[in-house]
Amino acid sequence: MESKITFNYNLDVKPNYSYIFEFENEFQHNKHRQWMTENWTVAFYYVGIYMAFIFGGQYYMQNRPRFELRRTLMVWNSALAAFSVMGACRTLPEFLHVLRNYGLYHSICVPSFIEVDRVAGFWTYMFVLSKLPELGDTVFIVLRKKPLIFLHWYHHITVLLYTWYSFTEYTSSARWFVVMNYCVHSVMYSYYALVSMGKYPPRSLAMLITVLQLTQMIVGCAINMWAANYIATAPPHSCHISNINLKLSTAMYFSYFVLFAQFFYKAYLSPKTNKKAKVEPTPEVSRVEKMQYDAYPRQRNGVVAH
């Protein structure tokens, strides 16, 4: 394995971006890494506030009418969709460029997407920071009194803590994780935006989103396996991934896969015996309300798709 790995790279050859924004060109990774190193543990305080809101909010809303928040939710989903599309468009070129010109080893073990490429570096940093406002997804669930399952808040918490910690180490395999997540979120939040506007795509699209998420978890586990092999066979410290980070990432992706697979089975494959009798609206329900009610199972994917 060692003999097949080349360590000399001409990192001056970068993706051919058609345009580079000034805020991207001014990105200084060292300054932001220092800030994140000094402040990443603050994420635990955000997690504490988040959990307090979940249980406190659910208790507060228990005997109160739910909020509609339709327009706010439409703006929220549309903004996250636009952000995800932009992030995917700005990080994918670097990812493909590295795979095409430098190979798999470089894509997993060399953090040039932060240290060399300012465009990908900026959007990687934005990706990390975005995990904090994405906690707002749960705010809508609680205030609208929608079912909040374990996978939703577990996923939010672990992703926030892991990404903030990983940026302090410039974890090189994050190149894969960032690009995959941006791409999946582009589809997912676009779907949610349509639903919040009253446009209901076919059920197959909701299923596709969950399949994409499962695929993301499988690829994430595979990348960690490759990384473990490189760490074991390549020269010491040549693969920029710490052992603790590798273990955390593997445990996280595997747990996601199990939980998403369980969700996929319950949502799309489990027998629907007597389910219709339990969820069928009464005859007095208006046509508009029935449409919203019937659409909910398709929206339910949004509860866990992050």
Among the listed residues 155, 156, 185, 306, the single catalytic one is 155
Contacts of 22 (CB under 8 A, 6+ apart): none
Radius of gyration (Cα) for the chain, nearest Å? 21
Distance CA 60, CA 104 (A): 51
**Angle, vertex CA 91, rays to CA 85 and CA 93, nearest 5:** 105
**Strand, helix or coil at 289?**
helix
Distance CA 147, CA 265 (A): 18
Amino acid at 233: T
Tell me if residue 32 is catalytic: no
Sign of the torsion formed by the C-alpha atoms of 25, 30, 31 and 35: positive
| CA-to-CA dists, residue 155 to 150, 151, 200, angstroms | 8, 6, 25
Q: Which two tokens stand for residue 286?
A: 């208006």
DSSP secondary structure letter of residue 266 = I
Amino acid at 261: A
Strand locations in the chain (E): none
- In terms of DSSP H, where are the helices of 68-202? 70-101, 104-109, 112-115, 118-130, 136-143, 150-169, 174-196
Which residues are the active-site residues? 155
